[in-house]
Structure 1
Amino acid sequence: MAWRAQNKTLQILHAAEQGRYGVLAAIVYNVEHITAFVRAAESRRSPLIIQLFPSSLDQTPSLVYAASAAAKHASVPISVHLDHAQDVDQIKHVADHLPFDSIMVDMSHYAKEENRSKTSRLREYCHARGIAVEAETGRIEGGEDGIKGTDDLEGILTNAEDVEEFLRAGVDFLAPSVGNLHGDYGSNGPQLEMERLHRVYHALEGRATLVLHGTNDFSPELCRACIAAGVTKFNVNKLVLDPWHAHLRGNVDKPLTQLMTEGIDVLTTAMEGWMDVMGSSGRA
């Protein structure tokens, strides 16, 4: 399939797998976030994946075009990814009409067999249009702003059989459930089953890229341990956006343009630090 060699998300992740470093796949909610993340990527010479939630397509429909333009004109490899897409009609519309490089086809709110079969059919639809596909095996507990209908479902941990089934479904990257949570972890912090994560990576046998969701409250040490276990794509939200929110709350009385400029600077610095942690700095 010739499209695979041209797909930016696959290019970014394949290079990271070869180099054994992590790539930040960062959720954006506005143009300021895009600006800060791209500045950080160019400053650190790091690859980057810009992610949008499906809710953004309704709330701020022009945001994907801003992200796509920023990625296209950046001096480092940047792709645009739709995270946690759960509506079949919306996924098809996105694949047909919007400038995404990859889509997470999230059918994890269905039972295991229906999850796999729906994912397989949608993977065929997306691949036919040159779009790479991510899926979730098992079910990751918790809810996250921008993701509907998941916070009341019980988590299901991933096993080797799940991995093999989704590989047969033809997905390009796989997000397992290994004790990670969508949302916040609470006072005990993240408690990942690292042995399970290692087993998932070995079951993949290089046939798909390993993705980790639920990175709120991760330490640099835990990120590095996950990279050593084979994780390449790190979905991040509050992990990198918390300094932005703290700056807004602490400076709300400043003029808007000043607040925006300072916020972009704060977020750029935070993102640069996490790119250093992931080992992606200097790789682009």
Structure 2
Amino acid sequence: MTRRATNKTLQILDAAEKGQYGVLAAIAYNVEHITAFVRAAENRNSPLIIQLFPSALTQTPSLVHAAAAAARAASVPISLHLDHAQNYDQIKEIADSLPFDSIMVDMSHYEKEENLERTAALREYCHARGISTEAETGRIEGGEDGIMDTGDLEGILTSPEDVEDFVRAGVDYLAPSVGNLHGDYGPKGPQPDMDRLHGIFKALNGRARLVLHGTNDFSPELSKACIQAGVTKFNVNKLVLDPW
């Protein structure tokens, strides 16, 4: 069977694009989060992507296996994704030894050419092990717990040329920079460039699924507009953690 037919994240997001709906990709920090996420997904009969930060693998090594077991036992489609993996050698070690369905090979802290070179090499390495890959095009401003501090780096919006470059690099999911932020948006709230987002989806032309980071503060109306623009994976963090 092909990787597309067996990889759970690919299956979930291919179905989302075909059905024109979005899927939450939620960061888990402990077993209680994982349990709550799975129960919520089952109660809503909804697919889900459980995400872990690389820092969780050293702070709580058993968490990835607990998440993988919960995903396998769920009555709805759930996959396990490593978010913002930024260490080249660590990504290879993880791909060799841990049960992730997909990995974000985040080389966006490098300049574009090195970003592309490293992304393509890691994509090939992961694909050979049945793992699908996500990459960030441009550079999304802001920072989050668990990832490298990029607050001092200038945000770079994604261009149509970026899309072609990363499609050639062979990634399965593209996370563009369209005015979305990691962290808080401030009093004005999120104001993504919807024309740019539509253009990126058109440029992808079905060759990769579209991901949006920093969607914690998105209203239901804005989320629906993003789905209409082609987004299938919505990364959230504090949205599902604040009530805790």
TM band (smaller chain): over 0.9
1:141 aligns with 141
Q: Shift of the alpha carbon at 1:149?
A: 2.8
SS in 2 for 1:243: coil
- The two structures, once aligned, show a CA RMSD in angstroms of 0.8
Task: Please report the TM-score for the alignment, with normalisation by the length of structure 1.
Answer: 0.85
Which has the higher Rg, Structure 1 or Structure 2? 1
CA displacement 1:52-74 (0-9 Å, x = unmatched): 00110111111100100000011
2:24 aligns with 24
Q: Which runs of 5+ in 1 are unaligned?
A: 245-284
SS in 2 for 1:107: coil
1:3 aligns with 3
1:81 aligns with 81
Q: Shift of the alpha carbon at 1:4?
A: 2.3
1:51 aligns with 51
Q: Which amino acid aligns with 2:102?
A: S
Q: Shift of the alpha carbon at 1:80?
A: 0.1
Q: Shift of the alpha carbon at 1:239?
A: 1.5
Q: Shift of the alpha carbon at 1:49?
A: 0.3
Is this contact kept in 2: 1:133–1:173, CA < 8 A?
yes
Report the more deviating stretch, 214-223 or 201-210: 214-223
Is this contact kept in 2: 1:4–1:130, CA < 8 A?
no
Provide the rounded CA distance (Å) in 2 between the counterparts of 1:206 and 1:128.
22
1:66 aligns with 66
SS in 1 for 2:231: coil
2:158 aligns with 158
2:126 aligns with 126
Give 1:260-279 correspondences, 5 Å limit: none
Q: Which runs of 5+ in 2 are unaligned?
A: none
Q: Shift of the alpha carbon at 1:221?
A: 1.0
SS in 1 for 2:242: helix
Provide the identity percentage: 79
CA displacement 1:252-278 (0-9 Å, x = unmatched): xxxxxxxxxxxxxxxxxxxxxxxxxxx
Q: Shift of the alpha carbon at 1:216?
A: 2.4
Report the more deviating stretch, 127-136 or 3-12: 3-12
SS in 1 for 2:50: strand
Larger fraction in helix: 1
Q: Shift of the alpha carbon at 1:218?
A: 1.2
Give 1:225-240 correspondences, 5 Å limit: 225-240=225-240
1:254 aligns with none
Q: Shift of the alpha carbon at 1:191?
A: 1.2
CA displacement 1:36-87 (0-9 Å, x = unmatched): 1100111111000000001101111111001000000111110000000000
CA displacement 1:206-255 (0-9 Å, x = unmatched): 000000001121111111110011100000101221122xxxxxxxxxxx
Q: Which amino acid aligns with 1:64?
A: V
Provide the rounded CA distance (Å) in 1 between the counterparts of 2:190 and 2:30.
28
2:34 aligns with 34
1:112 aligns with 112
Q: Which amino acid aligns with 1:169?
A: A
1:173 aligns with 173
SS in 1 for 2:240: helix
